[in-house]
Structure 1
């Protein structure tokens, strides 16, 4: 897990340095805070339009899919926050495998929920048919 975080941090740092260098070469004289506004504003609005378009299409089929994606995303952030917190505090071990198994736990429980939902649907359908 530590290696994964260090690799991601290295990639982010390289991108940051590249953006800073390009902005200086263009004579923009942007501060780090200015770059955060532009970079995260751009990433955020592009991601918003992609997610919005995807969720509108998914909503035509089922709100469950939207709820699943939202929960999965929040859970992913929480899982990595807990792993990082374990590293910082020294309580527990920060391991990528822990994060993976945590996500698998959610997927397993969600799949179980879907199975129960499908069984209940067909049971109700069968009872109405009589």
Structure 2
């Protein structure tokens, strides 16, 4: 878990440093808050463009797939928040395996839901 958080932090830091250097070379003199505005803004819009393309393509097949992806993103955020909270409060160990099992639980329950949904659709058409 620690390694994943460090990797994510390194990616954000890389963008932070690139934009910071561009800002300095252009003489913009951005404050740290302004730099955060630009870094998160740029990363966010890149993410939005990517997600928008993917969701438009998926919407032609299934709205449930979009619901799954959105919920999966929320579950990932929640899982990381729980692991970080455990580290801060000492209520448990911050481990990647805990996060992996959490995600596995989400997949298992989603699979069960989709099987039940499929059975209801199959039986209602008969």
TM-score band by shorter chain is 0.7 to 0.9
Pairwise CA distance, 1:11: 4.3
Summarize the Cα distance change of 1:57–1:94 in structure 2 as closer, same or farther, 3 Å threshold: same
Normalised by the length of structure 2, the TM-score is 0.86
- Give the SS at the match of 1:82: helix
Summarize the Cα distance change of 1:41–1:121 in structure 2 as closer, same or farther, 3 Å threshold: same
Pairwise CA distance, 1:55: 1.9
Bigger shift: residues 7-16 or 117-126: 7-16
Bigger shift: residues 50-59 or 30-39: 50-59
- Give the SS at the match of 1:61: coil
Aligned partners of 1:49 and 1:13: how far apart in 2?
21
Ranges in structure 1 where 5+ consecutive residues have no aligned partner? none
Which residue of structure 2 aligns with residue 55 of structure 1? 55
Bigger shift: residues 46-55 or 6-15: 6-15
- 1:29 pairs with 2:29: yes
Across the aligned residues of Structure 1 and Structure 2, the Cα RMSD in angstroms comes to 1.9
Pairwise CA distance, 1:14: 4.3
Which residue of structure 1 aligns with residue 115 of structure 2? 115
Normalised by the length of structure 1, the TM-score is 0.83
Pairwise CA distance, 1:45: 2.0
Aligned partners of 1:11 and 1:104: how far apart in 2?
25
Summarize the Cα distance change of 1:10–1:62 in structure 2 as closer, same or farther, 3 Å threshold: closer
Pairwise CA distance, 1:118: 1.6
Deviations 1:81-121 (A, max 9, x none): 00000000001111011001100100011111111122222
Ranges in structure 2 where 5+ consecutive residues have no aligned partner? none
- Does structure 1 conserve the Cα–Cα contact (< 8 Å) formed by 2:86 and 2:92? yes
